[in-house]
Chains A and B, each alone.
Chain A
Amino acid sequence: MFPIVRKEVIATNPAVKLFEVKAPLVAAKAKAGQFFILRCNEQGERIPLTIADYNRQAGTVTTIFQEVGASTKILGKLNEGEAILDFVGPLGLPSEIKKHPDPVVCVGGGIGIAPVFPIARALKEAGNYVIGIIGAKNKDLIFWEDRMRAVCDELIVCTDDGSYGRRGFVTDALKDVYTQREGRINQIWAIGPMIMMRVISNTTRPWEVKTIVSMNPIMLDGTGMCGACRVLVGKETKFACVDGPEFDGHLIDWDLAMKRALIFKREEQRALAVVECQGGGCGCH
């Protein structure tokens, strides 16, 4: 069992929560860009979440997740002091971190702010000039601004509705940075909803600036055993759990990736109904 040592509610609409979990083996090896898989209880799904931070001394791993369906809602109900049944990692390949001659940009959209943070920190530690761009729908959904600011040389915060920072999408902020820097950007990391990563990849393709995205396809084992996580990169089929999750955004077949994310849509809705009517009162069974 893996005890939850800290729980924070980051936002309530939609619900976004932070868990710090005691998992010494994972904490000992974790690197930026990697993820883990957890299972809440005997009936639970195996769900992948990114390692947003780790503390090797305390043996803990921090993750931030959004409640989107049954499994993340069940997870969100757990409290400090309770424990998670299974927790395996670190999985996937770490981000490739090296010193770039020109600035690098780290873009985190929505829940993607969490996974982009350790990458920005590692890039900074490697001596890079790091420009951070974080964005969300509104002010309530912006988190870790202070932590990002601490590891970025510049940080731009945006909200879709203008309730905080500059109004507009992270893509717009990125375009401005590119223009101001006269194209002198070595590499971009973009993590967030699939649609955001796709739009950013399409934006940067003509610039010929390498753009790394972190794919989050449906996964099962996370060890390369099932192929559920297949993504088409260039002409090659890759397993995101072992060959990724980071890939060159310019090479991803986004149409396919977005369709594959919907494979279990009907079942996900059924599962959600089961979770939401637990406690009864809705009269659905």
Chain B
Amino acid sequence: MSLKGRPPRQEMPCQDPQVRRNNFNEVALGYQEKLAVAEATRCLQCKKPQCLAGCPVEVPIPEFIKAVAEGDFAQAAQIVKSKNSLPAICGRVCPQETQCEAECVLGKKFEPVAIGRLERFVADWEMDKGVEKPAPAPKKGQKVAVIGSGPAGLTCAADLAKLGYAVTLYEALHVPGGVLMYGIPEFRLPKAVVQAEIDYLRQLGVDIQVDIVIGKGKTVQEILDDGYAAVFLGTGAGLPRFMGVPGENLCGVFSANEFLTRTNLMKGYRFPEYFTPVIVGRRVAVLGGGNVAMDAARTALRLGAAESTIVYRRSAKEMPARAEEVEHAHAEGVQFQYLTSPVEMLGDENGWVKALKCLRYELGEPDASGRRRPVPIPGSEFILEADTVVVAIGSGANPMVIKTTKGLAVNKHGNIAADDDGQTSIPGVYAGGDIVTGAATVILAMGAGKKSAQAIDRYLTAQPGEKTQ
């Protein structure tokens, strides 16, 4: 097959940057049918498709793309969903450039097939048409509890329900969805998309119980005592890290979790119609270089900040954020201060932050993460004015479940220790997603939820009835 005759990678239609920086509507508008078919025809339908190796949940990429090329979108949706139960979400937020698309052979010489965009197209197309009601699975007669309703918990619950288990999903917040609901902004992942997935879960018969904090209202042991044959812990990495520099508790300094939760979960951008306030000043500084930092910086612009600056201690190359989001941030006018990190936050007489005292860095030898370690340049101190600071330097495991579950082993990072199947130190108790790996990605959390669902099924089938009432 000749590559020459093939069309170029089809651009994603987007809202104009100058318009979108002022609204919370989705930035990337999605392919129309014609664009999708054109993009799908770029795929070489490789005999040994390299792309497969890049997808953590083994979506049959060439097969579904073939169906798109042939205009059989319903078939394409079925193929994707055989491996990925949340394609509308993954198509939007997977870091494709380091996963599936990184492996695509076309990418070696040209641009890779836009696998993520096609996946999103297929999922949106199906959602538009109305998803078929799932056929009820034959009942297994055993109950399984899933704690936490992020992508790990949602996937595990869906798979267990499909296998015929009676699943109860517990969530601490008043809305299920985890980071998909409280963290990732509407303009990148519309909440209606997440809601559709949650509705699907309800149709599968999953009993979703919100407003229950496991470790407080109920413990894992009590759930087991209640006759649940197994438990899956998907409680995420929700504990915000701060930098530990002086002045970090000044007014106007927020964790990214607080800033984004106020905006997304509580709909602070529609204050006072919604009663939870969220505020930005004129100059916002966001500390960090990941997806969370990009989301915060772009949110700040939409909330009315005149300037929004990413302050990152390494260089552009090391930034862990998705490439597409960095591009979008640039286009919207987010500024970047690389090789920079604050050593102190300075406040005014009312206790409000007014500036960051920063140091410049240069890159030294690679550290444990393989990235070159930033080294401060002596005497490089300078002042960066900011009246709002958002700290987005990562998050750790919330210790609530760990502390209240006797015998649950943790690893050296304070995360729950679990094997490849999610099996923890307690028989019948499984864990996966960010609570095991530390802050990672949606697709990895889903993959973990999937694996644990299978492992739980094997565990319960191996000892039928033993743990039921």
Contacts and interface: CB of A to CB of B under 8 A. Distances in A.
A264 B212 CA distance: 28
Interface in A193-240: 220-221, 223-228, 230, 232, 237
Contacts, number: 113
Nearest to B267: A43
Contacts of B426: none
A174 interface: no
B398 interface: yes
Interface residues of A, number: 42
Nearest to A70: B275
A260 B251 CA distance: 6
B4 interface: no
A6 interface: no
Contacts of A228: 254-255, 258
B139 interface: no
Contacts of B255: 226-228
B217 A90 contact: yes
B435 to A, nearest CB: 13
B136 interface: no
Contacts of B133: none
B249 interface: yes
A227 B242 contact: yes
B271 A271 contact: yes
Interface in A5-47: 25-26, 29, 39, 43-46
B400 A242 contact: yes
Interface in B232-252: 238-240, 242, 248-249, 251-252
B350 A227 contact: no
A86 interface: yes
B277 interface: yes
A45 B276 contact: yes
B266 interface: yes
Given A45-B266, A225-B239, A226-B257, A271 B272 contact: yes
A228 B210 CA distance: 22
Majority SS of interface residues in chain A? mixed
Contacts of B266: 45-46, 220
Contacts of B212: 25, 88
A101 to B, nearest CB: 31
A256 B351 contact: yes
B251 A262 contact: yes
Contacts of B261: 220-221, 225-226
Given A89-B217, A227-B240, A270 B272 contact: yes
Contacts of A89: 213, 216-217
A91 B213 contact: yes
A126 interface: no
A91 B212 CA distance: 10
A87 interface: yes
Interface in B31-68: none
A187 to B, nearest CB: 25
B225 interface: no
A39 B174 contact: yes
A29 B216 contact: yes
Contacts of B216: 29, 89-91
A87 B213 CA distance: 11
Contacts of B275: 43-45, 70-71, 74, 271
Contacts of B254: 227-228
Interface in A77-114: 85-91
A223 B398 contact: yes
Contacts of B218: 25
B251 A263 contact: yes
Nearest to B172: A223
A227 B272 contact: no
A25 B266 CA distance: 24
Given A88-B172, A223-B213, A225-B261, A267 B279 contact: yes
Contacts of A90: 216-217
Interface in A47-82: 70-71, 74
Contacts of A230: 249
Give the interface centre of B216, B238, B400 by most chain A CB atoms within 10 Å: B216
B262 interface: yes
B97 to A, nearest CB: 29
Given A88-B174, A227-B258, 16 more contacts: A25-B212, A25-B217, A25-B218, A29-B216, A43-B275, A45-B266, A88-B213, A220-B261, A220-B262, A220-B276, A223-B400, A224-B398, A224-B399, A228-B254, A228-B258, A259-B251
Interface of B: 172-174, 210-213, 216-218, 238-240, 242, 248-249, 251-252, 254-255, 257-258, 261-262, 266-267, 271-277, 279, 350-351, 398-400
A-B interface, 4 closest residue pairs, ranked by CB to CB distance from nearest: A259-B351, A267-B277, A226-B258, A88-B211
